Structure 1
Amino acid sequence: MKRLAALTAALCLSFSASANDPNHIDCGSCAAWNVAQKPFKIVGNTYYVGTKELSAMLVTTPKGHVLLDGALPQSAAQIEANIKALGFNIRDVKYILNSHAHWDHAGGISALQKASGATVLASEWGARVLRAGTVEADDPQYNPKHIEHFPKVANVRAVKDNEVIRVGDVAITALMAPGHTPGSTTWTWKSCEAGKCHDIVYADSLTAVSADDFRFTGGAGKPDLSDSFRSTIDRIGKLQCDVIVSTHPGFTDTLDKLAKTTPTHNGFLVGGCAEYAAASLKRFDERIATERR
């Protein structure tokens, strides 16, 4: 969690993207976020196939695969190449799951859906945004003077809280986690290896990044979202959690854990949900304190 503060600051500087070309997003951090990352195994049938700073996960089964997130529009080709490098075929991806519908996590989904023919799953709010290719006015980052666009996504279905998605012998559960966006979703499943099954958490962002005039404490006819956001943080912190990967891998030290992994030691099997939540709550409380001054 040591990089959470720095990455949150980068998000604050980068959330306004160029609206001119939704197929290639330009932002202050986009080039750094999109640096190529060699794909790697987390544990069992769970793999990391994203970029250096934008997560995408692949869960494989003999009956088809599940991809989680698509990073930037310009990340899609890299994600597809990473899937191929692991020996899998994009056409075998049955579902693409989205954490939240912002251009840095959903931007590549349109191209990946077309390449795979997969059904895309997201929260009800997220599904609307994916279909439209633009965020709604209740998004904390919504700015009417600089509206966020990314490629519209086809074949999208909404899921509900605690809904279970099954492919082969894998069951992935959707957990609604509103806060960073109204439709944020954390996904959980089990991956088994050497006769032991591990609880995997793909945790959505818990950062209170927003447009300059947005207040999580509400006011001017807007609702106070602070208790709801805290409930989300508390929910994530209490999850059964052998492995956690967040939407930005630096939030959960994913590449540091990879560096500590050896043939006899899996550096990812260290839990981390409670620590992720605690660090996020500290940052959130600091944000709320500034709003209430």
Structure 2
Amino acid sequence: MCLNQLRRKRGNAGLRAWPVAVLFARRGSGKTPMESRLKVLIAAFCIVSTEAHAYPANWDAPQKPFVLYGNTYYVGTAGISAVLITSPRGHILIDGTGAKGAGIVADNIRSLGYKVSDVKYILNSHAHSDHAGGIAALQRLTNAPVVAGQANLATLASGKANRDDPQYGELPDFEPVTRLRGISDGKVVEVGSLTVTAHATPGHTPGGTSWTWKSCVNGNCQNMVFGDSLSPNAATSYRYTDHPDTVASLRQGFAAFEAMPCDILVTAHPEANDLFGRLQHQAQNGSSAFIDPNACRDLVVSYRERLDKRLATEKR
């Protein structure tokens, strides 16, 4: 795959335009065609590059599930969030983690005493392999349709990033997803008494979507948020200053995110909101351990600063 990516970027002719030091790094007998020698070198480069960009180990590491509030549970891995919202008439799962995490998510659901087959919908935050790579496997276990932002449907269906993704060219493929349903801002997904609302928070990906719902304990209800990634991450050669539409989308996502009703926030990667740090206080604080009405606004402040800093750096 790495060689094909280089061909897309440089063209076949570009393979013959590499520096002389590279072309003659492996001379052999002189009978091996130049491109064959390059393939060996490029393959070695790809191995190093892939290892350098490998997922952090905790992304695929098991994490014991825990209650967030009321009927809402964390069922993701140690580094990628997935949330289960339960009801007597069926459940809703948000995100599928990566391909290796799908089994962890399923086991976590079972360990809580619920049937994976009772999941009626799988919702997606954005179509990257670390959040969508496990969805196809979970879909086989649940037979549930997958709901995502309209602009992410093509990527989910193909398992390949679109060119309008800022990280295009550096994203791994993932298993394609079937039975897709698009959703737009403000629309809802319902299962029994559950109502989950979609909020368009684009920028990290074009179809990025955050989700809100209410969970209650003894009549005390909290506004729950599964917040999509807002980070201005991009491929090495990508310049946000050359893509004002993407910058505008990020700022749109920031504004939508900080306007959401938000008492308990779960971010797509748990460390973004120190979720496990809050978990340590659960034994003492009980169901209030995760409550922070400022969480969404505070997170936007940090991401807005990151974007502004990147734009300033690119303009130098």
TM-score, length of structure 2 as denominator length: 0.81
Partner of 1:138: 164
Partner of 1:206: 230
1:268 matched to 2:294: no
Paired residue for 1:52, among 78, 81, 105? 78
Q: CA RMSD in A?
A: 1.8
CA-CA distance at 1:285 after TM superposition: 1.0
Per-residue Cα deviation, 1:44-78 (whole angstroms, up to 9, x for no partner): 11000000010000000001000000111011011
User: For residues 285 and 245 of structure 2, what CA distance do their matches in structure 1 show?
Assistant: 49
CA-CA distance at 1:29 after TM superposition: 2.8
Partner of 2:247: 226
User: For residues 304 and 244 of structure 2, what CA distance do their matches in structure 1 show?
Assistant: 20
- Preserved contact between residue 132 and residue 152 of structure 1 (Cα < 8 Å): yes
* Residue identity opposite 1:187 in structure 2: W
Partner of 1:12: none
Structure 1, unpaired ranges of 5+: 1-18
Q: Which has the higher helix share?
A: 2
Partner of 2:38: none
Residues 106 and 190 of structure 1: CA distance in aligned 2, closer, same or farther (over 3 Å)? same
Runs of 4 or more, structure 1, over 4 Å off, are none
Per-residue Cα deviation, 1:208-259 (whole angstroms, up to 9, x for no partner): 11111212222xxx54422331121122112221100100000011101110
Partner of 1:88: 114
Paired residue for 2:305, among 261, 265, 282? 282
User: For residues 128 and 300 of structure 2, what CA distance do their matches in structure 1 show?
Assistant: 21
Partner of 2:27: none
User: For residues 130 and 75 of structure 1, what CA distance do their matches in structure 2 show?
Assistant: 17
* Residue identity opposite 1:270 in structure 2: D
**Is the partner of 1:217 in helix, strand or coil?**
helix
**Is the partner of 1:62 in helix, strand or coil?**
coil
* Residue identity opposite 1:205 in structure 2: S
Aligned residues: 266
Alignment of 1:142-161 (within 5 A): 142-143=168-169, 148-161=172-185
User: For residues 186 and 217 of structure 1, what CA distance do their matches in structure 2 show?
Assistant: 25
Larger Rg: 2
- Preserved contact between residue 164 and residue 173 of structure 1 (Cα < 8 Å): yes
* Residue identity opposite 2:289 in structure 1: G
Alignment of 1:111-190 (within 5 A): 111-143=137-169, 148-190=172-214
**Is the partner of 2:241 in helix, strand or coil?**
coil
- Preserved contact between residue 217 and residue 225 of structure 1 (Cα < 8 Å): no
- Preserved contact between residue 151 and residue 207 of structure 2 (Cα < 8 Å): yes
- Aligned identity (percent) is 41
Paired residue for 1:248, among 269, 291, 307? 269
**Is the partner of 1:96 in helix, strand or coil?**
strand
User: For residues 65 and 193 of structure 1, what CA distance do their matches in structure 2 show?
Assistant: 18
